[in-house]
Amino acid sequence: MNEQDIPIDIHVNKLSDWLVSRRIVDKNWQRSIKDVRHMINEALKDMPGNSELIQLLSGSYINYFHCQQIIEILKTTEKDSKNIFGSYTSQRMKDWVAVIKAYEKDNLYLAEAAQLLTRNINYEIPSARKQMTTLEKLSTDALNRSNDAIKSENILKNEFSLACQQLGIKGDKIKLELTEKLKDLPEMQKKITEKIPKLEPAVNLYQNFSGNKHCLPVLKHLIKSGNTTVYEYKFGEAPVKIEEPPLSFSVNDDEEENAEADEIDFGDEEIDFGGEGAAEVNLEVGEINWDLDGIEENSPVEIDFNISLENSGITVEEDGMSGGVARGDEAFTILDSPQYRDIFLDELFEIESFLKMRLYELQSNDKVHVISMSLLDGFTDHDVKTVNGMIADIETVLIAITAPQFMQIYQIKHSPKFVDILTNKLKQKLRGIEKVKANQGILREKSKELKENAAALLPNLNKMIEQTKILQHHIEKDISKRYKNRVVNLMGANV
């Protein structure tokens, strides 16, 4: 095989060492290249306004092969400075010719070109590609997070709708709508009251078993008289007038959430101590006769019991509390009063515990124990089935009075803080929805911006790749000339 047909294969990473080892370039070439770079910088200060030059010099690292192109362009722009001997008198041309000569000394241009090629292939191009990939990934991540935010928004909307549905409100004006739900409280209490009379057999059993006629007073009253006011329960008759305490919280949804949230409105009602029409109290003290001269010591004093009430001046009020006004806690019904509702619940749990214990005794496998208990209590009018029915009736009432919707409306009426907590909880979901919406817009804009930044890098990357390929071609061609035009392959230069 002819030597000229044998290609020269050089790995790009070994190119600089290969040139030094073949004594084509000096191993200390970097010391001399500084002067060449300084000459280039000075020559660039005085350049003609030519479109080809502007395009050539824009965003490029000027190397030897660029300088050759500059001279070719200057031959056109500086042709008027050519003398009769064919030389150019233009300083611009002289500067760039001097740069070419400095480059060609000791083949500095080839050493620099090899280094530039290696740097582009190993660092600059991979770095630009990595930066583009990173920006594209960040853009995709931002878009995915925007889509996730839509899911989060839908979740929050569903949670808000479900919470409003459970409360029975629309959610437009939360506090006002919660307050309007108080209208449903009497009807709910009425339905509970209708279930309470079924507990009478259980109450009778417990009373007979315990021997205490005064047990379960609130429950007995509810069975007998229904859900009356506390006033009627305490005094035995209905009041003439009922004055419930006003709501102790504001229903304005537009006010600041925490402004004066803890203040309690005790109402503006004044206590009537008697005004016009009230009986005047005569505080004048009559004269007392202290003269004892007419009374003999140890002599009996006769009392006249025949004085009529009409002549005595004493007025006897009518029996009972007729004409009373129920105020404060006494104006609430028993199931509405926090104090008496708790007592009612305690009594329900008390009788439920008794019935469950009694059921256990009746279901016991120890027949002797059952017989002894029956003989001791003397009650044979109930069995497992009836006791189970009594327990079921009690649990029905307990479930109704502790139902979430009933408890929420009940607490709305009697706890201002609960209203604020409930309102803020719902508003927090609304704020979360708005925040998620805002984040969606930000993330979409961020994704768009990152994608545009990645796209902006593509022209520079393509230009860098193109210049690298041209530089590779120049190096291969230059080395080929030095070795009788043998084919030169720079390995690992695929970009």
- DSSP lists the bridge partners of residue 452 as none
- The average confidence (pLDDT) of the chain is 79
Nearest to 401 by CA among 146, 91, 192, 214: 192
> Do the Cβ atoms of 334 and 217 come closer than 8 Å?
no
**pLDDT for res 405:** 83
For residue 157, is pLDDT > 60? Answer: yes
For residue 200, is pLDDT > 70? Answer: yes
Residues of the chain above pLDDT 90, percent = 35
For residue 298, the tally of other CB atoms under 10 A from its CB is 5
For residue 429, is pLDDT > 80? Answer: yes
CB contact set of 227 (below 8 Å; sequence gap of 6+)? 189, 190, 192, 193, 333, 334, 335, 336
The predicted model scores a pTM of 0.56
**pLDDT for res 139:** 94
Confidence of residue 267 (pLDDT cuts 50, 70, 90): very low
**pLDDT for res 86:** 58
**pLDDT for res 365:** 55
For residue 468, is pLDDT > 50? Answer: yes
Helix H or strand E segment including 34:
helix 29-43
The pairing of beta strand 488-491 with beta strand 241-243: unpaired
- DSSP lists the bridge partners of residue 241 as 325
Give residue 269's identity as a one-letter amino acid code: E
pLDDT digits (tens, 9 = 90+) for 175-197: 788 877 788 888 888 999 999 99
**pLDDT for res 17:** 94
Euclidean distance between CA atoms 94 and 80, whole angstroms = 14
For residue 314, is pLDDT > 80? Answer: no
Range of 8-17, 203-212, 362-371, 402-411 with top mean pLDDT:
8-17
Quick one: average pLDDT of 349-360?
Answer: 90
Quick one: average pLDDT of 116-120?
Answer: 94
**pLDDT for res 132:** 94
Euclidean distance between CA atoms 439 and 153, whole angstroms = 10
Confidence of residue 15 (pLDDT cuts 50, 70, 90): very high
32 compared with 364, residue with greater pLDDT: 32
Euclidean distance between CA atoms 424 and 416, whole angstroms = 12
Confidence of residue 74 (pLDDT cuts 50, 70, 90): confident
Task: Tell me how far apart the terminal alpha carbons of the chain are, to the nearest angstrom.
Answer: 32
Euclidean distance between CA atoms 399 and 108, whole angstroms = 96
For residue 24, is pLDDT > 90? Answer: yes
Range of 148-157, 316-325, 364-373, 407-416 with top mean pLDDT:
148-157
Quick one: average pLDDT of 442-462?
Answer: 93
Quick one: average pLDDT of 85-101?
Answer: 82
**pLDDT for res 9:** 93
**pLDDT for res 248:** 62
Q: Where are the alpha helices (DSSP H) in 196-335?
A: 200-210, 217-225, 230-235, 309-312
Q: What is the DSSP letter of 214?
A: T
Range of 161-175, 300-314, 338-352, 405-419 with top mean pLDDT:
338-352
Euclidean distance between CA atoms 472 and 12, whole angstroms = 10
Q: Is the dihedral of CA 219, 223, 229, 231 positive or negative?
A: negative
pLDDT digits (tens, 9 = 90+) for 320-347: 444 588 888 888 888 888 899 999 999 9
Euclidean distance between CA atoms 118 and 120, whole angstroms = 6
For residue 59, is pLDDT > 90? Answer: no
For residue 23, is pLDDT > 70? Answer: yes
Euclidean distance between CA atoms 163 and 430, whole angstroms = 12
Of 50-59, 368-377, 401-410, 486-495, where does mean pLDDT reach its minimum?
368-377
What b-and-e string marks burial along 210-242, b requiring 16 or more CB atoms within 10 Å of the CB? eeeeebbebbbbbbeebbbbbbbbeeeeebeeb
SS3 338: helix
pLDDT digits (tens, 9 = 90+) for 239-265: 888 888 777 656 565 554 444 334 434
